Amino acid sequence: MPEFVLKTTSLAIKTFESVVSSCSNLRRQRIVEQQIKANDPTLPPATLEKTDRTVVTAITKDATGKELAPDQQKVDVYKINLRKDHRIKVGATVLNDQVYETAGYEQNRIEVLAQLQGKDLKGATVTWTAAQW
């Protein structure tokens, strides 16, 4: 069974090193890819987390470009979540039996909404997210 070591780096990327003996590094990479796709419970839970991108890569050379010894070669798994800071929103607002088209923009914790009737601006709303989870 592969051994895993959890490492965290900047940009919320998690790296897992897998050392699997008795097969080529490319084969190790494919094994780990298949285990992730199959939600293999023998993998660390963080490797199975839903993320925007998952990159599985075989490490066969050191930082200087020299070939690593077979027992030092490894497979890294990068779990990447992309930031989605900007959102465009549309909807409707009902006030005093009047219906207004609503258009909005959200970035981080700030949201701005405009209430319209046709092309006429009838109102505006600004909200700030006080708590998120």
Classify residue 111: in a domain, yes or no. yes
- Candidates 100, 126, 123; CA nearest to 111 is 126
β-partners of residue 77 are: 16, 56
**Could you tell me if residue 51 is inside a domain?**
yes
pLDDT tens-digit profile of 33-92?
A: 898 999 988 888 888 888 888 888 888 888 898 988 877 888 888 888 887 788 999 999
Place 121 in a pLDDT band, splitting at 50, 70 and 90. very high
Amino acid at 33: E
Q: What is the pLDDT of residues 6-36, one digit of tens each?
A: 444 433 344 444 444 446 777 888 888 898 9
Which whole-number Å values give the CA distances from 64 to 5, 32, 60, in the listed order? 23, 26, 11
The pair of structure tokens assigned to 62 is 């050191």
Its domain, for residue 107, covers: 86-128
Residues 24 and 47 in one domain: yes
